[in-house]
Amino acid sequence: MAYKEFNNVTILDHPLLKHKITRLRAKKTRTNEFRSLVKEISILEGYEALRHLETFLIEVETPIEKTMQPKVNRKALCFVPILRAGLGMEDGMLELVPGCTCGHIGLYRDEVTKQPVEYYCKLPADISEKEVYLLDPMLATGGSAIDAVKMLKKHGAKKINFICIIAAPEGVEAFCKENPDIPLFIGALDRCLNEDAYICPGLGDCGDRTFGTTNGTTSDK
């Protein structure tokens, strides 16, 4: 489903995706299930986002005969999660395209300024030759995603896509105004940001819930 205000935005509309995001939101969902859901949701989103993958023909011998059939050119791809929450999505994307090259960008949100702070960046040397899929579960203010794209471009990336699970309208607007040429895939578009720049209704801190670093009900103890 296209987002009427920006033609580079696709809001994915599938009953299974909606169902899993509902379970992801629930406060009572524990760490192990939460982590599994992030992976499953990433697979569903990735299936749609990777629809236009480059393929080439290879010879395959079936029990009946030899035939030329398409194969994904995984060397042309690169998945780049934004640490640390994006790591949960990386697992799902690699389930779809095993052996794909991955890079990593480390950003965290300053609790006072609400702005992203860079602390790590490791990308393939040939990233300029690859189609990049930037991964981050939450698009809140848009600051981290915008900075991550700048880092990718600085290192030579030319073809970039962004996949998130939940987005706020404020983040979508900020990202698209800065990057109108980058396809953005969203699992669910929420209502707004609160005064602490958390998405409402959202799901809380995705990184904490993925890795069990809170004292809340996501713990498996």
pLDDT, tens digit (0-9, with 9 covering 90-100), for 140-184: 999 999 999 999 999 999 999 999 999 999 999 999 999 999 999
**Would you call 147 a catalytic residue per the annotation?**
no
Report which of 187, 186, 190, 191 is spatially closest to residue 176, judged by C-alpha positions.
186
Domains recognised in the chain with CATH numbers: 19-51+76-211 (3.40.50.2020)
pLDDT band, residue 1 (cuts 50/70/90): low
Q: Inform me whether the pLDDT recorded for 216 exceeds 50.
A: no
Give the chain's count of helices (H) and strands (E): 6, 14
Active-site choice (22, 113, 213, 217): 113
Is residue 113 flagged as an active site residue?
A: yes
Is-catalytic flag, 190?
no
Q: How confident is the model at residue 220 (pLDDT cuts 50, 70, 90)?
A: very low
Active-site residue, 126 included: no
219: phi then psi, degrees, rounded to nearest 5: -65, 145
pLDDT of residue 11: 95
pLDDT in tens, 64-102: 999 999 999 999 999 999 988 899 999 999 999 998 999
The confidence score (pLDDT) of residue 92 equals 95
